[in-house]
Amino acid sequence: MHITVDNLRRVSAALFDRLEARGYETIDVPHDYYWDIDRVQRHNLDAEPENLTVGQLTEDWWNLEEMLRDESLCAAYGLTWLAAVLREIGELIVD
């Protein structure tokens, strides 16, 4: 699979536009903790995942907001925090 940053930006904007068109200005996220599977295990479909870790949406969001406050903290790893938050929102708001 080949993903261009431009298409990633465009599809993200389209999804956010859709949320706003549906009247969402804020989204209440009732859950905070979630199970996380490390990358190697997540892609190994030949074995059941072991060693699950716990993630926290409030911590993920705090890290992302810190990047907004200090652009020098902005790193590609932030996409993993954003992914966790977006996954939760996507599962809460089903078309």
- Report the pLDDT value the prediction gives residue 43, as an integer from 0 to 100: 92
How confident is the model at residue 29, as a pLDDT? 95
Check residue 95 and give its pLDDT.
58
DSSP secondary structure of 63-74:
HHHHHHH-GGG-
Mean model confidence pLDDT for the chain: 94
Domain ranges of the chain: 29-92
pLDDT score at 74: 84
CB 63 within 8 A of CB 70: no
The stretches in the chain having pLDDT less than 70 are 95
pTM for this prediction: 0.88
Q: What is the 3-state secondary structure (H, E, C) of 16-57?
A: HHHHHHCCCCCCCCCCCEEEECCHHHHHCCCCCCCCCEEEEH
Give the span between the Cα atoms of 6 and 21, in whole angstroms: 22
pLDDT of residue 92: 93
Residue-level pLDDT at 75: 87
pLDDT for the residue 71: 86
